Amino acid sequence: MENLKNRRSLGHTGIMVSPIGLGCWQFSKQKNMAGKFWPTLEDSQIEKIVSLSLTAGINWFDTAEVYGDGESEKALSRALKTSGRNPGEVIVATKWWPAFRFASNIAKTIDQRIKLLDPYPIDLYQVHQPWSFSRETAEMAQMTELINKKLIKAVGVSNFNARKMENAWKALQKSNIPLASNQVRYSLLDRKIESNGVMDLAKRLGVTIIAYSPLAQGLVTGKFHDKPELLKNIGFRRYNPQFSREGLEKSRPVVNLVKDLAARYNVTPSQVALNWIIQYHGDTVVAIPGATKESHVNENCGAMSFSLSAEDMARLDKASSIFK
């Protein structure tokens, strides 16, 4: 069985990442609509979260242009500098926001991404959504130019369905560039990529799946099932049907099994859920849980310190198959 602390290649790029990275949406400082999802974190807290992540075995960080209009990128760079890490010692992934833009905007905005993340190079540059005014083939042509100019090291996509993912892969293949990754929502309570062709295609093409929202916005831990009063303060999550009374009842059998396994392995429910994600599909899936507290970092990284048995992973697979 694989040592879950070993690093894995992002697709066929040779960029080696820890099975768990840190999602940095929460560093948005409440700027723009995307940033309103999270409370404002002080710089000192962000620096603690990043430093502890590095100490605990995480070597890569995922941010995006739309996370506070660059505030997250800026905060990440500042925290990495404070941690004493030099360029090349950490892996940085960010994303281009495509809404109401053409593919040509990728080249027009790359200097801003580089400036905000300075001095850390962009190891993985991703198209954040399949929503631009241009086709994915045009976007990949722009990404190829950035690779050729050595402005980025690898290309990924996010929220792409199987057809668009394959189109992106084919476009890059013309220049012998691998498609590194597809960043998608994936958890024990959202397994749609296993039924819509994305997971199967990723395995066939050698594309890494980067799982965001791997704890289903905290739902898989059982805290909302145990204390429904917490639902009064869940912000935007109140619009998610999984947080309704019916939704909670549907996920309860999975949550109960996660909690039972957590007790047996002497770990937390979130660690069980994360361990399943980074282990069940071999090295195809890596996860990027967020963290707003140091305790979240310890929990996230602790998911790499043990291995669920094949039998227990199969039990989780069966229990959560209704969410495929």
Question: Which residues are known catalytic residues?
Answer: 67
Report the chain's terminal Cα–Cα distance, integer Å. Answer: 26
The Cα–Cα gap between 98 and 136 comes to 11
Order the strands of the 152-158 sheet from edge to edge: 22-23, 60-62, 91-96, 122-127, 152-158, 179-185, 208-212, 285-287
Give whole-number Cα distances, 280 to 182, 227, 255, 314, in Å: 17, 29, 17, 9
| Structural contact between residues 275 and 214, judged by C-beta atoms closer than 8 angstroms | no
Contact 14, 295 (CB under 8 A): no
The helix (run of H) or strand (run of E) holding residue 158 is strand 152-158
Report the alpha-carbon angle 311-312-314, nearest 5: 65
What is the C-alpha separation between 4 and 11, in angstroms, rounded?
A: 17
Contact predicate 126/95, CB 8 Å: yes
One-letter identity of residue 40: T
Which residues share a beta bridge with 155?
125, 179
Q: Count of CB atoms within 10 A of residue 63's CB?
A: 28
Phi/psi at 183 (5° precision): -90, 120
What is the C-alpha separation between 33 and 299, in angstroms, rounded? 28
Question: Which residue is it, tokens 């199967």?
Answer: 200
Tokens at 67, concatenated: 């996370």
C-alpha distances (whole Å) from 214 to each of 185, 209, 275 are 7, 12, 10
